[in-house]
Chains A and B, each alone.
Chain A
């Protein structure tokens, strides 16, 4: 019995709980499932042996590896399960069978995908994450959410199809279906790369992220933010570690969302852009590919899941209590939501990489690794992006929601279960960030579960050195000081305040100018493009309809309109082929 339980992929426990929740009308039972399943799955994961194929299955002549734990998948699976537990607490007040069931299945699919050893089973769970998560977007019930959900579903199903196709092409080229390090070049590998890229939010493939996430439900966005993209990061780390192009892709990913986040008013959308920017750090680290860099990517993913959930949870609480997440409609909420404010500040401090918070110990690894291979320009881009993170996530989010001008809103404090979930996430954010006074305490605990924990350089790596802290504090204090001064004299409209004073003034001008310019161009060109696209698709549609609809050309083939003729045509064709082609 124990052996049987130990051989079950922990993700399947969550998926099963999700199925049961879908059939259970009683809210209490669903709550029990939502809390119990992640705890059980955590125990199963901790008990699992490493580096062997725990569960395999033969299907259609392929050997599928359903459950395999190693140090890389362990940390991602662990982070996912902790996030699943926190999300379950956060959503306890929800009484929606569909949302409960879909969220659990979605989280389970993401966990299960982490522990797959071959492309087929990865594909199955990959698609399952897409199909289940889209309901979290639909559930908010607006027309815009439905449309964004359909776009999201389209892209993600496409990603799955590309993955399956690429995986099979790889299989037929090499005879090996297992997920392993790949070299870009073959068409199959390119397809897999593209499939991962869609989910990881590569430039130009990222549009679904800021489009769909802000439109999901209060709890849905929190769930969404933790899993899909990090699953893609995991997959990239597994297959494309050291792929040079990823350094640049990642660096670009860190930079451009900054501009969008600066001018965005919807705070949940700001967080979505910031999510995309954080993914860039991880992608860049995967591109570097050294053990230190991969440790950085994994540590960053772990911490990121925690503080991003925390920020989304705090914004969710605000949205839940006030009905809006728009910067212009919020402000001064700290009076009545003190705990939410505190937790949001902890999340903001973590994402901005303040010393003593989790972002500091994880981002340092990545920055050092990028500097370590001497990639100067990407390193500068990351530095710029770090400052951007501080501006839009570290300052803008808490400032406009909880401080700033008083909106006059006096909402109640968030419900207790939300506070509990935020508290747990905040605890992890601080706990992981503390210096290692004792072995295994603070950041040392995190560094010990990293994929290359026994890498000599990482073992010696010490984030709390004088120059690290000094550099980081210079950057942070300067920016905060500038923000405070600008706030006091009221010289700039809110959106312009506190931008990146620590790097270079040109960046500020160019950055804001670029954002403004692209915004203007978009408003001018956008409608024209939409119109053109509409005309083109309309024309194509009417052509298709003329041919294929019930009154269309093809349907006219009744007896006298040609079907009998077709038999003769086909007979003639067959005869000709039989006679002449040989």
Chain B
């Protein structure tokens, strides 16, 4: 398979894939923002760009996987050699993230057109797609770059585009505006913290290249500037990743932004921030630095567990489906942080595995909700009553993803929770494993409420015939739902990727 891809791909694509995957949406975004018409052309352009980026990410994946244990591709931007020039550095860890982001972006852009037509004013649609592509490009850039300051630039690019996208939800619900401004302020604080942290590191080492930073930081133990830099970076990226208790921008942003944006952000934005966090914790800082005195565990573990419990409880008491799912997202971030905070290869692998699976299930759940918004214009749990009968295809996919979120056997969610529990038990953290199981029971409750309304309650308004969502929406939705089942039955492919990603951090990789 890998050989086949490498044979088919043209040589220029293989040589320049790390740059092309960024440059393509960077150029196409502004162009599509000024395309005429009702936005249809901009939409088609978005689909083409995201499809091409998905292909590029597959080529990158094949290149990385062509070597046993994962190759490292270093690409010097503009021919300026690292560590002075900006370096793009692709290894087994971030190729996984690149592929996830571009694949989800491709699926959401297919499914997005009907919902955008319903939710966004005609004159704003082209602009919307432009902003989406910039956001997409920023996320890819964060994942691909090997330069700490360049990461900040991409982070801000994607964030600013995201604020615009969230605010465009005001056509449907005016509360999108305060949600966007809140997100903007919080996101800016987070990004500032990050850049301050990078500043401290630069002051201590004189370099911004991550690989070089890792080498320079090796003999700076006890340096106060490095420690302060670490604290700032942890909090800054933690905020972007919606680490408890810095998650409070997320529920409103997910609830009030356009359906399309919610589906995309829920599956990608926090995931990329978690990737950046993992990159800094394990590649840039040394394991000894992070785990000496278990200092990392002292922050990440309690925050992860608090998220798993508090946000699951919060999800139980919500009346709005999108809000329930948003709180559940924060709780799931808790699982990932818990896996990462173990500091073992198995833990990081489980965290990355859950990251991928969570993107697939939350993407599917929010897509199904988008279908309901489209045909019924309601997102309260009450509005979902009886939809199992009137929209069986949408709701069956929703149910599959919900079961996966709960962690029912034969779904992706079970596999990654299982991997997480095994990793916890292997380190002797049985109490944390028990909390994982308990928090899954909470997930049964909050998803069960919705499923009960969908399948067991009579429709609110039997006269009003509700329709199935359009095919354009059902297709991507079912791709994600089936992906959940496929990984649940045979997860070896994704487990292999996650294991390679974790291995890349623990042996070799950047260092």
Contact = CB atoms under 8 A, between A and B. Distances in A.
Nearest to B313: A548
A470 B234 CA distance: 82
A124 B248 contact: no
Interface in A530-554: 544-545, 547-550, 552, 554
B313 A582 contact: no
A578 B419 CA distance: 30
A367 B173 CA distance: 74
A59 B249 contact: no
Contacts of B303: 570
B293 interface: yes
Contacts of B318: 549-550
Interface string B390-427: 00000000000000000011100001001101100110
Nearest to A169: B425
B313 A557 contact: no
A581 B299 CA distance: 12
By secondary structure, the B interface counts as: helix
A564 B293 CA distance: 28
A557 B294 CA distance: 30
Interface stretch (B10-18, B225-233, B501-509): B225-233
Q: In the complex, which range does the number of interface residues on chain B fall in?
A: 35 or more
A567 B239 contact: yes
A192 B425 CA distance: 16
B410 A570 contact: no
B182 A554 contact: no
A528 interface: no
A3 interface: no
B34 interface: no
Interface string A153-194: 000010001000100110010000000000000000000000
Contact of A59 (B235, B245, B316, B492): B492
B351 to A, nearest CB: 15
A67 to B, nearest CB: 16
Nearest to A577: B295
Nearest to B190: A567
A548 B182 contact: no
B486 interface: no
Contacts of B495: 60
A567 B239 CA distance: 8
Nearest to B228: A575
Contacts of B204: none
Contacts of B294: 581
Contact of A559 (B182, B246, B292, B415): B182
B76 to A, nearest CB: 33
Given A60-B495, A550-B323, A578-B227, A566 B298 contact: no
A564 B421 CA distance: 33
B248 A558 contact: yes
A377 interface: no
Nearest to B294: A581
Interface-central residue, A124, A165, A564, A571, by most chain B CB under 10 Å: A571
Interface range on chain A (Cβ under 8 Å from partner)? 35 or more
Nearest to B444: A157
A255 to B, nearest CB: 34
Given A550-B319, A564-B186, A567-B193, A60 B422 contact: yes
A558 B298 contact: no
Nearest to B416: A60
B433 A165 contact: yes
Contacts of A168: 421-422, 425
Contacts of A554: 310, 314
B482 to A, nearest CB: 15
Contacts of A571: 193, 231-232, 235
Interface of A: 59-60, 123-124, 127-128, 131, 157, 161, 165, 168-169, 172, 544-545, 547-550, 552, 554-555, 557-559, 563-564, 566-567, 570-571, 573-575, 577-579, 581-582
The 9 closest A-B pairs by CB, nearest first: A574-B231, A578-B227, A549-B317, A582-B293, A557-B248, A548-B313, A548-B314, A563-B248, A581-B293
Given A557-B245, A567-B246, A577-B231, 8 more contacts: A60-B418, A549-B317, A552-B317, A563-B246, A570-B245, A574-B234, A575-B227, A581-B294
Interface of B: 182, 185-186, 189-190, 193, 224, 227-228, 230-232, 234-235, 238-239, 245-246, 248-249, 251, 292-295, 298-299, 303, 310, 313-314, 316-320, 323, 408-410, 415, 418-419, 421-422, 425-426, 430, 433-434, 437, 441, 444, 490-492, 495
